[in-house]
Structures are given as structure tokens and as C-alpha cells.
Amino acid sequence: MNSFDQAVEEATKLRIRDVPDFPKPGIVFKDLAPVLEDGPLFQRIIASFVSHYKNRGIEAIAAIESRGFLLGAPLATGLGVGLILMRKLGKLPHRTIRRGYDLEYGADALEIHEDAVRPGQKILVVDDLLATGGTMAAAIGLLRQAGADPIEAAFLIELGFLGGRQKLDLPSTALVCYP
């Protein structure tokens, strides 16, 4: 699971807001806005991630659009490494490489700039939430396709009951897990 500070995990759980029937009936959306609005808590969360990942040989953070950027940017700053933007199709201005993936309701794709990573570069892949695992699996595949070495996936929240972790072929860590 995780090795984060229990107090930070508990405080985060208290601030996550459940929004029933969003974006469609039967879904309980985990709203991170209250967590991000709490400056001292957000600072503690980032400090926990930095503490967890420092001295692990990470050379860059790859963050998935768009909420992954909210965690990835301050984490990259805290670790003193660069940030690789993993964006939806057509959002990056330079030459890109892409990887498509299936969603419950269709298909999508992620892109990175073709020169965003170095061969063998050790990368931590970050997103806000792990649900079914499709987006993160595509992100890991895209980084490998580009020649990088993704070493772990990190999330603020994991919806364990959806089994997304089983689709990932590398270690993953979440601050808060709903089993």
C-alpha cells in the first residue's frame, strides 16, 4: 500500500468530497477540490510524496493531464527533477509520440514530445486517481515506447475495488486507498 504519514492520509480522507451521481448516475465522484483548497494540507501531501520518493534515483516526473499536473509539478520541484507533460491528443505544440487506449465509453490517446525523455531515464509517473488502470497503463507504455524506464506509479487516491493496480506492471503507491 503506502508508507506515508498516517496523519496526512487521514486528513486527506476527511477533505475528499464524495459527489454522488457524477458524471453519471451510480458513480460516486471523489472530488479533490477541497484537498487542493486547503493550502497547509496540500503542502503536507506534497512533502509526504517528496519524502517518500527522495533518494530513489528518480530523474523526472511524468504527469498525466490534467489533474496529474497538480501533483506532478510540485513533486518535481520538491525532488529537483524535470516534469514531463503527458497530454491528450493534439494538445502539445511540438512533434509527439502517442499511445492509444480504450476507455469504458470509447477510446483516447496520450502524447508526449518526442524529445521529452532520454533513453533509460528513471521516471515516476503521477496521476491524481487510479480507477480501472487504463490511462496509467497507457502512460507507462508510452514512456517505454519513448525509451524511458518508468519505475513506479503514484496517485493521491486509489479506488482499489476497481482493480486498476492489477493492470500495471510496475509498483504503485497511493496516499489514500478505498478498498
pTM above 0.75, yes or no: yes
Secondary-structure breakdown of the chain: helix, strand, coil percentages, each rounded to the nearest 5: 35, 35, 30
pLDDT tens, position by position, 58-97:
999 999 999 999 999 999 999 999 999 999 999 999 999 9
The reply to whether 67 belongs to the active site is: yes
CA 8 to chain centre: 18
CB 155 within 8 A of CB 130: yes
pLDDT tens digits along 30-43: 999 999 999 999 99
Residue with cell 490534467: 66
Domains of the chain plus CATH, in order, are 56-178 (3.40.50.2020)
Write down the catalytic residue from 67, 98, 118, 144. Answer: 67
Active-site entry in 10, 56, 99, 104:
104
On whether the CB atoms of residues 124 and 93 are closer than 8 A, the answer is no
